[in-house]
Structure 1
Amino acid sequence: MSYHKNILNYLESTKTGKILFLSDFRGLGTTSAIKMSLSRISQTGGLKRLCHGIYVKSSKNNKKEVKIDVDDVLKAISKKHNIRLLPSGEIALYKLNIIPEMPKRLVYITDGEPKNLKIQDQTIIFKPSTPNKLSMRGETSSLVIQALEAIGKNNVNEDILSKLNQAITKERKDFLLEDVAKAPAWIYDILFKMEKN
């Protein structure tokens, strides 16, 4: 059986929309043969290339567009490479409804290697960070802390505080208390007062 046929059979058993990596095809052919085969399938249908080494399973005729959720791609990368990825800066501001639009340049802090990816029209940057920032347990409390750091101590107003207060009520109290203790002093003071109100 040819390398190409092996890869086609593998894709046949793969669910449409699944994120795939070049390394997923190891054992089905040499690296160069796999790359050639994936390139061919991407052109004829059944696979869509998202960026270097990352694909998504699509329909064979490519008539039905596969909707790509960047969060799903990032979760797949995190699981595949056993790294942590946490949204920082403007992503946190968007997710907390402080800014109206998702930024085109998405920065995630990580314990992995620095990396730049281009998926669709979005640039994704992996920025190495400290273990302390990456040890946050609560998804919402982590977003709030990242958002406040992006805003800066002197730019926090009542409208922002109101939105953050609404978000923080959804966090588990034990996670919130643990994460607040790791925050910079000025952020700790803000969140401590919120938690007490």
Structure 2
Amino acid sequence: MTLAKKVADRIRRWPKERVFSRFDFLDLGSTAAVGMALKRMEDAGKIRRVRRGYYDRPRTHPLLGTLKADHKEILAAIVRRTGMRLQTAGSNAANELRLTEQVPARIVYETDAPSRKLDLGDRNPIQLKHRPLREIARASESSRFVFAGLRAIGRTHITPERVAHLAKELKPEHRRLLLRDLRYAPAWMHPHLRAIAAGEPKSRT
């Protein structure tokens, strides 16, 4: 099987929304050879370039037409390529956890890499803000996500209803991780996190 066919076969096996770069095929051949294979597929309309060096398979919606690449898939591909660490910033985490209906004006992630804006073409750039590695790497990703959301809401606005919502929405394994990672959260969060982990209907302080 030729390199081009191996690359195409792997892409077909992936979910269509996955974003990838030539570095996802290093086991198949050199970056130059893989890059040429991807360029030929792009020219043939089989894949599209979503930003320099990154591709996906075009997806269409019967009403919306061609869909944009998911920014999370783009970030996942960048993380695989660079090895940098990311975590969703507070207001974005609160919105994704449905702790608030307020939609942040910007998409912000914290990273152990240098701060910069990530240009995604015809959409608002993603802001990457540097944060020391020790503050990102200690707790599990799911726990850090909850910590960020609660921190954005603020201790005076964490209601029993919001705690019950998280207890219901989080996967059991993620609730268990909250207890394991309790030491990495501010002390004022501890009662709320214990209630979420226990699946209790309200927070007990």
Range into which the TM-score falls when normalised by the shorter chain: 0.5 to 0.7
Name the counterpart of 1:69. 70
| Aligned with residue 11 of structure 2, among 9, 15, 24 | 15
Name the counterpart of 1:121. 123
- Tell me the secondary structure at the aligned position of residue 164 of structure 2: helix
The answer to whether structure 1 residue 136 and structure 2 residue 139 are counterparts is: yes
**How far did 1:146 drift?**
0.7
TM-score by length of 2: 0.65
Name the counterpart of 1:187. 189
Name the counterpart of 2:54. 54
TM-score by length of 1: 0.67
Q: How many residues align?
A: 181
Contact 1:96–1:163 (8 Å) recurs in 2: no
Contact 1:104–1:121 (8 Å) recurs in 2: no
Identity in percent: 22
Name the counterpart of 2:31. 26
* Structure 2 unmatched ranges of 5 or more: 60-64, 201-205
**How far did 1:173 drift?**
5.2
- Tell me the secondary structure at the aligned position of residue 15 of structure 1: helix
Contact 2:47–2:58 (8 Å) recurs in 1: yes
Contact 1:138–1:176 (8 Å) recurs in 2: no
**How far did 1:42 drift?**
5.8
* Structure 1 unmatched ranges of 5 or more: 1-6
Contact 1:138–1:175 (8 Å) recurs in 2: no
RMSD of aligned Cα (Å):
3.7
Letter of the 1:181 partner, please give it: R
Name the counterpart of 1:84. 85
